[in-house]
Amino acid sequence: MSDSPVRRMLHPKYHGIILLTLLLVVGEWRYGILGGYSRLLTTLAACTGTEFVFSWLVRGKGANIRSAYMSGLSMALLTKPLPGLLWPFAFGGFLAIASKYVITYKNRHIWNPTNLAICLLLLLAPDTVAVLSQQWGNEFATNAVIWAVGLLIALRAGVLHITITYVICFILFAALRVGIFGGTLLPEIAPVTGPMYQLFVFLMVTDPRTIVPRKWPQIWVTVIIAVVEALIRVAGDHSVPYLTPLYAGPPLFALTIVGPIAMFLYLRKLKPREPAVPAVAVAAATA
């Protein structure tokens, strides 16, 4: 009974897969956001293949492909190149997984792999690659299901405070921008109902392998990420030159900028034998 398939699927290590699968199924069924299953297959092949190769080269053993599988689902969901192009999915999948092995500090990767890969694609090919910006619309049932599952997963994984902090900050900063620069509040907060933000708040900003440990440091880092995102949005609204590449994905770039700095500063002060993340988080991510 304790090892039943249902109980195994309820283990935290499967939560991300469940949520990503739900986002893909609902998104493709209702809105066709995937853009063809060839994109999904290409990304999954690139991610899992790169994971196997780098694991053998660096560790001398096979790899657990669950993380690569999740990266592939995320890349396929968020990456939106021009019609007919598959190379962004293959190259993005390679970048995401390779970054875990190549860009490290104290034997740990400090960037969320999928987030970093998408940002690199946006910087390297801004005229070819975009990020998913579609929203679920005003369908209450769709949003209710996604948020209910996402919040439950965040609660069980012990990162609900991160998700809630980010959502509250997003709404507050949206209201502040409207109060200062004018406009309507609803369109400013509407993006949070879309699959990109849902994936971001439930899986990316809460990634147990690339967040600092302990509740209050996590909350403060999340607030800083939300502040940087809000500043990017303000800069975009006023067409500040030099920052144009960041406007394609404000939350993704905010996490790419702030997250690694916070993790680097934490690891730098870490004692040699002190675990980098709580045992619960490691088990959820790697078990």
Instruction: Give domain limits for the chain.
Output: 5-286
From the list 17, 19, 26, 62, the residue with the least C-alpha distance to 44 is 17
Count of CB atoms within 10 A of residue 220's CB? 13
Higher pLDDT, 138 or 160: 160
Lowest-confidence segment of 109-113, 137-141, 214-218 by average pLDDT: 137-141
Is pLDDT above 70 for 187?
yes
Work out the burial of residue 57: count CB atoms within 10 Å of its CB; fewer than 13 is exposed, 13-18 middle, 19 or more buried. Answer: exposed
The DSSP annotation for 206-256 comes to: T-TTSS-SSHHHHHHHHHHHHHHHHHHHHHHHTT-GGGGGGGG-HHHHHHH
Domain 5-286 = CATH 1.10.3430: yes
Predicted local distance difference test score (pLDDT) of residue 287: 33
The single-letter DSSP state of residue 129 is: E
Predicted local distance difference test score (pLDDT) of residue 96: 96
Is pLDDT above 70 for 1?
no
Lowest-confidence segment of 61-75, 216-230, 244-258 by average pLDDT: 61-75
Average pLDDT along the chain: 86
The single-letter DSSP state of residue 192 is: G
Mean pLDDT, residues 200-209 taken together: 91
Q: Are 174 and 227 in contact (CB under 8 A)?
A: no
Is pLDDT above 80 for 276?
no
Residue type, 132: L
Residue type, 11: H
Predicted local distance difference test score (pLDDT) of residue 13: 64
From the list 60, 206, 78, the residue with the least C-alpha distance to 131 is 78
Residue type, 53: V
Top mean-pLDDT range of 60-74, 115-129, 147-161: 115-129
Predicted local distance difference test score (pLDDT) of residue 3: 56
Predicted local distance difference test score (pLDDT) of residue 138: 54
Higher pLDDT, 253 or 198: 253
